[in-house]
Amino acid sequence: MHPVVATVLLVFSCAVLALDNGLMRTPPMGWLAWERFRCNIDCDNDPKNCISQDLFRDMADRLVEDGWRELGYVYVNIDDCWSSMQRDAQGRLQPDPKRFPGGIAKLAQYVHDRGLKLGIYGDLGTHTCGGYPGTTLDKIETDARTFAEWGVDMLKLDGCYSNATTQELGYPLMSKALNATGRMIGYSCSWPAYQGGLPPTVNYSQLGEICNLWRNYGDIQDSWTSVLRIVDWFSDNQDILQPAAGPGRWNDPDMLIIGDYGLSMDQSQSQMALWAIMAAPLFMSNDLRTLSSSARFILQNKVAIAINQDPLGVQGRRLLKEKSGVEVFWRPLSEGASALVFFSRRTDMPFRYQTSLRKLNYTAGTYKPYDVFMEKPLGLLKDSTDFVVSINPSGVVMWFVPPAAQWQKQAERGRMFYSRSDQGNTRVLL
């Protein structure tokens, strides 16, 4: 199938109702505490790394001062273990008074003053996964109002200590309750992850009507094995998952762990490239205060981000799974462009992979690829011309591929290939 035809079909397949809050028309971007800091509440002995208002203020400062905000990383998201073990006298959730002495509203104001947004965590059950008070069905409206009064901009609603019946009732009720507050609050549902991620137990049409994004699969861990497991599950089930995604409603393969301990630089590039191809939310979970320059280079790559944030909003897919251990992923983009990722699962040595755009079902014509991580244009390339890419073990080669005529047309007009207003103001001219 030619990419142009495939794009039309994919866009048509995505034309279902989405949550009517106008948010997250491109995948949300920001920072999230969980994978890197977990449930560390020992502020007496580890004050720099415990779940506290100071940690989130530090990360907000880094997002602003180190150039993340301008690239679209605007959410500062609290995860589990932020609350007190008891609700207050009015039955409302309350933050731990020692670790959040200023309260969540004051933290939200701190974040907003820096042009950022604050996300918070809840759980549709008797307790959160960490054992803190959950949001039972009778507390949904109370908690939605509380989050709105605090100035929260996003809610991740987990599903520990609940059951299928509670989830079937509760996730839609929370969507309705959030909208009823009058505050624009993005809604991340963990519902499908607790129901196996696939039909018939998961109804993706319904999810698109009540949630902005949803966790389909288990938590990511700080390891290459975990990344591969997630990529495999999403690729193996792409025919089901891909049509569910689109502007305002995204599949969420979980956090970016680039800059932590488990990935090499090649593996970090692979995660960034594959998450961009999958139109995945980009929530870093790392320590921005100590992040290496090489990790920052990957996470701040403007073209990779622009591909992820493409306004067409079509999730990419795996095209080929070669016996050589190479896999090819493709995503249609705006302005007739596309993105390609050549991914090596090999562990021995760099592999020279030969193909052509015609073999990858591109329409006949001339293109002008750009190597995303090498940051250089590659010259004109006809669809019929064979080319070779050298891919490092567990690494990627990522291309942005516009038609040459469209490239020239845009360049003559002095226009940018991408522009975003949802998350930031990044513009990229190649």
Burial class (CB in 10 A: 0-12, 13-18, 19+), 227: buried
Q: Which of 123, 153, 158, 254 is catalytic?
A: 158
Q: Which of 54, 58, 219, 383 is catalytic?
A: 219
What does the block give as tokens for 376?
A: 């250089």
H-assigned helices in 181-301? 204-210, 224-236, 238-241, 265-277, 293-299
Element of type H or E holding 11:
helix 3-13
Element of type H or E holding 61:
helix 53-65
**The dihedral of CA 238, 174, 150, 422: what is its sign?**
positive
CA distance 45 to 56: 18
Q: Are 286 and 260 in contact (CB under 8 A)?
A: yes
What does the block give as tokens for 259?
A: 């800059």
Query: Largest Cα–Cα distance in the chain?
Result: 71
Is 219 annotated as catalytic? yes
What does the block give as tokens for 131?
A: 């054992």
Q: Are 177 and 204 in contact (CB under 8 A)?
A: no
Q: Smallest Cα–Cα separation from 331: which of 345, 310, 303?
A: 310
CA distance 169 to 173: 6
CA distance 313 to 10: 10
Q: Smallest Cα–Cα separation from 188: which of 141, 122, 234, 133?
A: 122
3-state secondary structure of 187: strand
Q: Which residues contact 239 (CB under 8 A, 6 or more apart)?
A: none
3-state secondary structure of 155: strand
3-state secondary structure of 400: strand
The residues facing 154 across adjacent strands are 119, 186
Q: Are 134 and 126 in contact (CB under 8 A)?
A: yes
Q: Smallest Cα–Cα separation from 72: which of 296, 302, 278?
A: 302
The residue to which tokens 């020992």 are assigned: 42
How far is CA 418 from each of CA 209, 368, 379, 402, 430, rounded to the nearest angstrom?
Answer: 27, 16, 20, 12, 10
Active site residues: 158, 219
